[in-house]
Amino acid sequence: MKEQSTTKGFAILSAAGMMVKVLSLLYIPFLIMIIDNEGYGIYGATYQVYAFMFVITNSGIPVAISKLISELTAVGNYKDAVKSFKIARFILLILGILMSLIMFIFAKPLAELVKYNKAYLSLLTLSPAILFTSVASAYRGYFQGRANMTPTAVSQVIEQVMNTIFSLAFAAYFVKFGLEAGCAGATIGTSVGALISAVFLMYYYERNKKFKVPKGYFNEEIRRFTTKQLIRKIIKYGVPITICVGMTYAGNLVDVYNTKARLMAGGITDVNASILAGFLFKYQSLLNVPIAIISSLSAAILPAISGAIAVKNKKLARDKINYSFRLCFLIAVPCAVGLASLSDPIYNMLKFRGGAFIMAYGSIVLVLMAIMQIQTTILQGIGKLFTSTFYSVIGIVFKIVSNYFLIAIPKINILGAVAGSIIGFAIPIILNHRIIKKSLNLKLSLLVHSVKPIIASILMGVLAFGTHYALNFLFSFIHKGYFSNMIATVIAIGVAVVIYGFGLVLLGGIRREDLNLLPSKLTRLIPKFILDKVK
């Protein structure tokens, strides 16, 4: 099995991640047509509960596999790399079975806990997905540790395609039996998609499980580890990550309860509170599209940083860290500005039926999420696992407290959740930044990496908004409605991409190595005079 560079691995995972998130986004309006806004609020609450159970099972150990395998292969210990994977796979299988049973047995109390009693059936139908995703996660961690992102990327696309098809089909069939049944039908596709994805990864592993040993390699001097030692390493790496991510999703779970309860405390009815919560879930789903690219970057750089630290190459680790932050801002800042400036048109195009105002005010959360995700990955890579966990917990506490007070204020209501997120991300970002600089003796300025993307993005946002406004006005003379907005929005997004790219080139914010992320067929479309300016 051939290893891939960090750049190539990032490009592969990004492409797959974008496809997955776009698919998950495009099927939302069709799902809302079937189960309506109230149903989507129930559906969203169900997935917050599922996400918490999922990360408790699958967040830590797959990352531990990736980190451990990359460290062991970096020093040539291939036998223990395979052994550690098999141990971790068995642990994940047991955890998957256990958590699936817990979710199935306690579906009713969990639904009552988040104040969405109608989510009971949905939680029942989602429970098998925990087991299937556990198996899939084990293999994904293995392949990522071996710096091969292709199987992870392909499996994610397969999973989402199957999820989309079966979710819509079952939702449409079961909704005739009532709203709760329709919501439950919408979750069946997740289990089906996870099962098919796991089967694909097992097949790929069996075909590509042999390590390619370098010519002239001898392993007599390689230190071998016992089973107990490998289990301790998996626990050492996996538990802090599980706690860190688990606490984040526990915070989200508290938010599901907190948001609806505090909206009602502010005088909003039960049904309208569910609708507003549904608006928040749509906003979060839309943010997850660009965040998929940042997640891909995190998955690609973790083995690279861990491997560099394992062979005590701090210079390489520092280079990877600076590179990851550059890419983080190059991606997150324009996405946030674009979503804010075109929030109304994009929501109308996607037929989201309300809630664009949340994106207009809250797109800044995207940038904060991206920064914190990269910081957490870096801290995991350099062994500061509990530090990142502790700082995340501090942020979550501040977020929950902020939400509690702000959401209940009638004039703020659902926007209080956005303000809480800003506070909840900003605090750990400041703390993470300090510990990364101190640990690696690294001169790291987030401002330096962000200035050029911010300037180019502001220009892009103004011109994209103006383009949409002008085109929508002109098209309205021909046919006013959905299609005039859709065409104007698509063109405005295209203009935004060109303006942002050209602005970065003029400012010197993009380098030749950044262009290497793009497929060669795409780079050929870039005018030569622009390519000549890229250093």
Per-residue pLDDT tens for 445-457? Answer: 788 888 999 999 9
Residues with Cβ within 8 Å of 262's Cβ and at least 6 positions away in sequence, in order, are 403, 404, 407, 408, 416
What pLDDT score does 128 carry? 92
Domain final residue pick, 444, 466, 499 = 444
Q: Say yes or no: 436 and 498 in one domain.
A: no
Q: Which two tokens stand for residue 65?
A: 């596999």
Residue pair 281/44 in contact (Cβ under 8 Å)? The answer is: yes
Q: Look up residue 399 and give its two tokens.
A: 């977020």
The residue from 417, 444, 471 where one domain ends is 444
Q: What is the pLDDT of residues 85-106, one digit of tens each?
A: 888 889 889 999 999 999 999 9
Residues 194, 289, single domain; the answer is yes
298 vs 333, residue with greater confidence: 333
DSSP one-letter code for 449: H
Both 417 and 290 in one domain: the answer is yes
Sign of CA dihedral 519, 521, 526, 528: positive
Taking the C-alpha atoms of residue 85 and residue 234, their distance in angstroms, rounded to an integer, is 9
**132 and 12 part of one domain:** yes
Same domain, 381 and 526: no
Question: Would residue 394 count as lying in a domain?
Answer: yes
CB 28 within 8 A of CB 44: no
Q: Using one digit for the tens of pLDDT, what is the confidence trace for 36-55?
A: 877 887 888 888 888 888 88
- How far is residue 297's CA from residue 89's CA, in Å, rounded to a whole number? 24
pLDDT for the residue 192: 92
pLDDT tens, residue by residue, 14-34 = 677 667 777 777 778 888 888
The fraction of the chain above a pLDDT of 90, given in percent, is 19
Residue 99 lies in a domain: yes
Considering Cα of 261, then 263, then 265, then 270, what sign does the dihedral take? negative
Which amino acid is located at 55 in the chain? Answer: V
Question: Which string of DSSP letters, residue by residue, matches 292-361?
Answer: HHHHHHHHHHHHHHHHHHHTT-HHHHHHHHHHHHHHHHHHHHHHHHHHHHTHHHHHHHTT--S-HHHHHH
Any idea which of 114-123, 274-283, 355-364, 506-515 has the lowest mean pLDDT?
A: 506-515
Residues 433 and 489: beta-carbon distance below 8 Å: no
In this structure, are 176 and 268 located in the same domain?
yes
Kindly state whether residue 180 falls inside one of the protein's structural domains: yes
Is residue 283 located within the same domain as residue 347?
yes
Residue where a domain stops, chosen among 444, 460, 487: 444
Q: Is residue 1 part of a domain?
A: no
Domain count within the chain: 2
pLDDT for the residue 534: 64
Among residues 122, 120, 119, 127, which one has the least CA distance to residue 97? 127
pLDDT for position 525: 59
Helix-, strand-, coil-residue percentages of the chain, each rounded to 5 = 85, 0, 15
- Mean pLDDT (whole number) for 488-507: 88
Answer yes or no: is pLDDT of 504 > 70: yes
pLDDT tens digit string along 334-386? 999 999 999 999 988 888 778 889 999 999 999 998 898 888 888 877 777 77
26 sits in which H/E element: helix 6-58
The pLDDT value given to residue 65 = 81
Q: Same domain, yes or no, for 170 and 313?
A: yes
- Per residue in 142-189, pLDDT tens? 887 777 778 888 888 898 899 889 989 999 999 888 888 888 888 888
CA gap 373, 447 in Å, rounded? 17
Work out the mean pLDDT of the chain and round it to a whole number: 82
In this predicted structure, the answer to whether residue 285 has a pLDDT above a threshold of 60 is yes
State which residues form the domain around 285: 6-214+222-444
For residues 515 and 108, which has the higher predicted lDDT (pLDDT)? 108
- The band of 281, judged by pLDDT with boundaries at 50, 70 and 90, is confident
Model confidence at 459, pLDDT cuts 50, 70, 90, reads very high
Calculate what percentage of the chain has a pLDDT beyond 70. Answer: 86
If you search the block for the tokens 């209501």, which residue do you land on? 413
Residues 410 and 510 in one domain: no
What integer is the mean pLDDT of 271-279? 82
Non-local CB neighbours of 45 within 8 Å, separated by 6+ positions: 114, 116, 119, 256, 277, 281
Q: Is residue 49 part of a domain?
A: yes
**Can you give the pLDDT at residue 455?**
93
Query: Does residue 233 sit in the same domain as residue 312?
Result: yes
C-alpha span between 291 and 287 (Å, rounded): 6
d(CA 374, CA 10): 13
Report the C-alpha dihedral over residues 76, 79, 85, 86, rounded to 10 degrees: 180
Phi, psi angles (nearest 5°) of residue 443: -80, 100
462 plus 433 within the same structural domain: no
What pLDDT sits at residue 427? 93
Best CA proximity match to 71, nearest among 235, 305, 295, 236: 305
User: Do the Cβ atoms of 160 and 193 come closer than 8 Å?
Assistant: yes
Q: Is the pLDDT of residue 111 over 60?
A: yes
**Does residue 213 surpass a pLDDT of 60?**
no
255 and 115 fall within a common domain: yes
Asked if residue 166 belongs to a domain, the reply is yes
